[in-house]
Structure 1
Amino acid sequence: MGTTVSREERHDSRPSGRAGGPPGRGRRGEGGRGHAATRSGPARPAGGPAVPADGAAVPAQAADTGPPRRGRPRSEAVEQAILEGAIKLLEEGVPLADVSIERIARTAGVGKATIYRRWPGKEALFVDLLRSIEPTEPPLPGTSVREDLIVLLQALRRRGLAKRSSALLHNVFAQMQSYPTLWDAYHRTVIEPRRKLSLDVLRRGVETGEIRGDVDIELVNDLFTGPMLVRTVIRPVGPIEEDLPERIVDSVLAGVRPRD
């Protein structure tokens, strides 16, 4: 919660320009209109390197030692401060519907423009917030459909356990049910990609002959994920054993494997 935000990000909404004067106007004698800029040191011929008085060429790196000018980098520290500001409000009991961009900006100590440069709105910000506190997705081994499905269900099991142990996750997901805009955004950007991943694994199983070609892939996918969702959502106090993913996968595969 103690992420430090730079002075630049705190005051990013102030207009740019030279301090002490209106923007876009330089001082006389520094290249202003009608005045040639005066430079000290060796003369620089047009299109060539700087040449000192004795005529020896100056190496390119010595001729221009300044770093290249780049745009402002994306600051991970600022993003973390914004997410922590939103988490702080939720932990204090502020209802999801009352957590506005303005309120998050004030809590995080940044300007609203800083947030809008990173997220188009509150829904997108909260989707990233949920991603940041949910367990990460593991890579699939790709050795067999069975192994990939076990890994996917293990990830689903970990997310279920996290929602049980995290009051914040439990609170947010409970409120999302009555916040259709946020729920739709989370479903579209998080749930659907996960579902597509498992469907791709099952389709690969049909291609490799590990799953029969006459089965309904959508239904088979529900048969894999359904028991885990029952344990984690519908029966949130029931046991979620460590070997449950393996037992589910083996039970379903026994019914969809090619017949001898």
Structure 2
Amino acid sequence: MSLAESRPRPCGPGGPARGRPRSETVERAILEGVMKLLEEGVPLAELSIERIARTAGVGKATIYRRWSGKEELFCDVLRAAEPPDPVLPGTSVRDDLVVILDAMRERGLLNRSSMMMHNVYAQMKSSPKLWAAYEATVIAPRRQLGYDVLRRGLSRGELRDDLDIDLINDIVVGPMIVRAFMRPDAGLPEGLAEQIVDTVLDGLRPRAATA
């Protein structure tokens, strides 16, 4: 699996803005070195910074100038291996939610098609420290994106003003999470995001005033 050409935003709080100016070539070599080891079946627990440095052809200090440790590095590797986070059109709450859910659908398809990625996610969940880092720096910002879209929908009058945004965000993304990650037998066809969003929004829009 090839990594994205541009490195994702660092996982650590504020990013590792320390040391000498970064080289994109060096960073890409490190990310690809980790992915190479994962593709060879090396368990996450056995991926030491020393082994990663040896595979990437760099020194350990080069890695530590860019990442504070394995958790931060692994987050960036996984984000680089996944489809990039989408750019929202901003035209309506419906359009934005469709884009968010379709990105989840694409990640679900990747998880199904790549046994290596499937195994990596399973190993991450068995490592509380690593999963907490991924949850805080990758999943949480994606959830925040949904909150922001729904809040904009409220402010624009596209949604009822009596809604619990936290609950609604779960209701919107829940069906796609179930389909993409909890039911490997379920279909993930194109148009599924639109179907989910339109079904949910039908009950969330302001009610017409009655005479």
TM-score bucket (shorter structure) = 0.7 to 0.9
The yes-or-no answer on 1:259 pairing with 2:207 is yes
- Equivalenced residues, count: 191
What amino acid does structure 1 have at the position aligned with 2:124?
Answer: M
Which residue of 183, 187, 190 corresponds with 2:138? 190
Which residue of 19, 35, 44 corresponds with 1:87? 35
RMSD after superposition:
1.4
The yes-or-no answer on 1:126 pairing with 2:74 is yes
Give the equivalent residue in structure 1 for 2:11.
none
Give the equivalent residue in structure 2 for 1:21.
none
Helix, strand or coil at the partner of 1:255: coil
State the shift of 1:135 in Å.
0.1
Report Cα offsets for 1:103-130 as digits up to 9, x if no partner: 1011111110010001000000000000
What amino acid does structure 1 have at the position aligned with 2:204?
Answer: V
User: Among the aligned pairs, what percent are the same residue?
Assistant: 66
Structure 2 residue runs of 5 or longer lacking an equivalent are 2-18
Give the equivalent residue in structure 2 for 1:67.
none
Helix, strand or coil at the partner of 2:202: helix
Give the equivalent residue in structure 1 for 2:159.
211
Structure 1 residue runs of 5 or longer lacking an equivalent are 2-70
The yes-or-no answer on 1:223 pairing with 2:171 is yes
Give the equivalent residue in structure 2 for 1:76.
24
The yes-or-no answer on 1:200 pairing with 2:148 is yes
The yes-or-no answer on 1:103 pairing with 2:33 is no
Within 2, Cα distance between the matches of 1:75 and 1:87?
19
Helix, strand or coil at the partner of 2:139: helix
Give the equivalent residue in structure 2 for 1:250.
198
Which residue of 221, 234, 241 corresponds with 2:182? 234
Within 1, Cα distance between the matches of 2:39 and 2:140?
28
Verify the 8 A CA contact 2:41 2:116 in the aligned structure 1.
no
* TM-score w.r.t. length of structure 1: 0.71
The yes-or-no answer on 1:159 pairing with 2:107 is yes
What amino acid does structure 1 have at the position aligned with 2:97?
Answer: L
* TM-score w.r.t. length of structure 2: 0.87
What amino acid does structure 2 have at the position aligned with 1:94?
Answer: V
Within 2, Cα distance between the matches of 1:72 and 1:222?
42
Deviation above 3 Å: which 4+ runs of structure 1? Answer: none
State the shift of 1:167 in Å.
2.1
Higher RCO (CA < 8 A, seq sep 6+): 2
What amino acid does structure 1 have at the position aligned with 2:154?
Answer: V
Q: Which has the larger share of helix? A: 2
Report Cα offsets for 1:165-211 as digits up to 9, x if no partner: 12221111011110111111111011111101110110111111111
Give the equivalent residue in structure 2 for 1:174.
122
Within 1, Cα distance between the matches of 2:193 and 2:20?
45
